[in-house]
Amino acid sequence: MMHASQSESSCRERRSIPPIAAVAFDLDGLLVNTEELYQEVGTELLRRRGCVFGPDLLNAMMGRPQAVSLQTMIDWHGLTDTVETLAAETHTIFSALLETRLQPMPGAVALLDAMDASGIPRGVATSSGPEFAMDVLSRVGLRDRFAFVLTSADVVQGKPHPEIYQKAANRLAVAPGAMLVLEDSQAGCQAAVAAGAVVIAVPGGLSRSHDFTGVSCIAESLADPRIYGSLFKLSSIAILPHPSPALGYSTHDSLGD
């Protein structure tokens, strides 16, 4: 398993990559600190039911669409609640946290400023729903910094399936191999790697223990020089071995919007 503490050694194998023409960003835990807020919401949901929100369950839920995540929670603890019930309760708890705790992740605004100066096109590709994604981005003043926002409503298959990043490449009008994806979770990185993108993992908290096989580098934050190097200096960065084709889905499907 590849840990963030191994990020320096993860760059020891170097080979040239195509110039990056565009960037796709994940949202939760990558652009904004909602991943840590989700942990508090999950803890409270399960506390009310006499259960514990442990790290293994959190890792199983991270990076996946809400319906999938909540069903995982239900199955994990044998809850009698429906996904819809937990989703409504999640919304109530989350809304209170967003008012006082939501903020951009370290380095996010500065990176977007640098991309503005260089004219690099970019979009968001998130497992969150459209209403939530737009609300969060608007609250932190980032909604207008992106050409588009793809959400769970735009795909049939959620991460780790590559559909959302295949669609992001189409929207950005670039080949997947010319698109840099910035992701914080294992499921998100698997999706981007399977789509054929250049991927940099930017883990935080518990996702530092995730398996990031196939990514080009594991960055410390969005301020990591290796992200800037891949975008603005066209430097060569490492390509770790890709996952087996046995993932079960094609990276060459044509996916129009």
At 73-131, the pLDDT tens digits run 999 999 999 999 999 999 899 888 999 999 999 999 999 999 999 999 999 999 999 99
Structure tokens at 61: 């839920």
C-alpha dihedral sign at 165, 66, 202, 4: negative
Which neighbouring-strand residues pair with 24? 123, 181
pLDDT at 248 over 50: no
Instruction: Report the residue count for the chain.
Output: 257
pLDDT of residue 17: 55
pLDDT at 5 over 50: no
SS3 breakdown of the chain: % helix, strand, coil, rounded to 5? 50, 10, 40
pLDDT at 231 over 50: yes
**Domains of the chain, CATH where assigned:** 4-33+104-247 (3.40.50.1000), 34-101 (1.10.150.240)
User: What amino acid is encoded at 107 in this protein?
Assistant: G
Q: 3-class DSSP state for residue 177? A: helix
pLDDT of residue 162: 98
At 69-82, the pLDDT tens digits run 999 999 999 999 99
Q: List the end-to-end C-alpha distance of the chain, in Å, as a whole number.
A: 35
Average pLDDT over residues 132-150: 97
Structure tokens at 126: 């998130």
Is the pTM above the cut of 0.75?
Answer: yes
pLDDT at 247 over 70: no
Q: How far apart are CA 119 and CA 218, in angstroms?
A: 25
pLDDT of residue 238: 36
